[in-house]
Amino acid sequence: MGRSFLVHNRSRILAMVLAASFVAVSASPGAYAEGSVDTLKNQQTQYTQQQQENNAKLAELRNDATQKEAYGATLQSQLDAIEEQINGYSNQMTNLDLQIQQAEDEISKKQKQIDADNQKLKERLRALYMSGGASNLEILLSAHNLVDLSDKSEAITMVTEHDTTLINQLKSEKAAVQKAKESIQSKRQQVTDAKSDFDAKHQQLSETLSETQQFLQKVGAQETSLQAQNASLDVQAAKTAAVLDSWSQKQSQPASASESAKSTNSQASSSQNQAAGQSQAAGQSQQATGASGASASASVPSSSSSSTGGGAASSSSSFARLISEAEKYLGTPYVMGGTSPSTGFDCSSFVCWVFTHSGVYNLPRTTAQGIYDQCSKVSVSQARPGDIVFFTGTYDCGSPVTHVGIYVGSGTMIEAGGSEVQYTSIDNSYWRQHFYAFGRLG
């Protein structure tokens, strides 16, 4: 089967599945905010379990596909061998047909010679008869003596025997050619029967190979569907985590304020006790009280000091904002040099637009190579949703990096490519062949 056709269909399936799933996900943050924390955590656990089940299915599918591909390769090898034998038999049949035709031509030639000699003999006998000398009795009566009679009889016999010998020789040669022809025809029939057997085997193997290819297409579609489900689960988990992060920050703020107040009261009470016990040194007591106040102020935790680390889109909330912005433009036409939703996007302008307008990272318009140059490099094993995936050699632009997309997890990216902004599996032969690196902004 055509490999490009399969890859194209798998990409379309992936896009449709993801688009359908993300429509539901985009409406979920409000519902999450109203649900309990336990419900949200349970949902995260379910997402993880579902991904594990999907991964197990993927491993099984890929194992089956590997076995089927090996089986298909064996079938193809057998088909090639059979086709070679069939071609050999066809060549033999062609040669035998040529020999049969030559034998038929030779038989026809001999028959014409026989017919011609027979005709000549008839004409000579007829001439003898018409001249009145054809009768043996007349020859006997017209003989002057026994010697003359013997000479005349011998002459007639020699003519007759000569013609008869020629005719019989031609008939013998014709019979030999006819026998050779029959032998060739018999051999041709044997070759025809053998070719028919191989034709039947070829047909059977072709049908089996076709079934194998259909199975591989079905496996490919199932694999794409599972990858799309995993990518959807990645995004749902990220959005759920973003809600939980927001809730956790809100819950920690009152507690921090309470602890700060308690710390301040404790420090103030300590200062008062010190002042009462040392009334003779009021000035020193006031200085001690001031020092205690400074210490209390320093102990108040600062929410601005916390850091997610790991890059601009590494946190759940950042990725949720990133993917929410990216999803707005699904179906937007791909236009080389396009820079906005109104003009269309190319691969790099789409990535720049999404990072900048989501507020995750200010990324002015640049090329795929320009984006790569701003990223810290990430190994494949460390890649996570929100990272950027780079490709090389997709077209000739004079730079190593030629294409870019936003990684959403589970072997899937959202990109401006093909004809539009779409979800695409990077786990296929084309993208594996052109893969360059993962990168992370920030």
| Spatial distance between the Cα atoms of 45 and 54, rounded to a whole number of angstroms | 14
> DSSP alpha helices (H): ranges in 328-409?
347-357, 368-374
Question: Which H, E and C letters describe 209-278, residue by residue?
Answer: HHHHHHHHHHHHHHHHHHHHHHHHHHHHHHHHHHHHHHHHHHHHHHHHHHHHHHHHHHHHHHHHHHHHHC
Structural contact between residues 376 and 311, judged by C-beta atoms closer than 8 angstroms: yes
Supply 354's token pair. Answer: 């999404």
- Residue 241 confidence (pLDDT): 75
- How much is the pTM? 0.50
List pLDDT tens digits, range 163-210.
677 778 878 888 888 888 888 889 889 988 988 998 998 898 889 889
| Spatial distance between the Cα atoms of 362 and 354, rounded to a whole number of angstroms | 10
What CATH number labels 316-442?
A: 3.90.1720.10
Q: Flag residues of the chain having pLDDT under 70.
A: 1-35, 124-163, 242, 246, 253-315
List pLDDT tens digits, range 308-344.
345 666 567 788 899 999 999 999 999 999 999 999 9
- Residue 121 confidence (pLDDT): 72
- Residue 40 confidence (pLDDT): 80
- Residue 221 confidence (pLDDT): 85
Buried b (16+ CB within 10 A) or exposed e, 208-224: ebeebbebbeebbebbb
Q: Rounded to 5, what percent of the chain is helix, strand, coil?
A: 75, 10, 15
Rg (CA), the chain: 49
Residue (of 131, 102, 22, 111) closest to 409 by Cα position: 22
Domain with CATH 3.90.1720.10 in the chain: 316-442
| Spatial distance between the Cα atoms of 250 and 287, rounded to a whole number of angstroms | 37
Listed in sequence order, the residues at least 6 apart from 328 whose beta carbon sits closer than 8 Å to its beta carbon are 341
- Residue 315 confidence (pLDDT): 67
First to last CA, the chain: 44
Structural contact between residues 234 and 22, judged by C-beta atoms closer than 8 angstroms: no
Listed in sequence order, the residues at least 6 apart from 271 whose beta carbon sits closer than 8 Å to its beta carbon are 285, 288, 289, 292, 293
Strand partners, 424: 413
What residue type is 6 in one-letter code? L
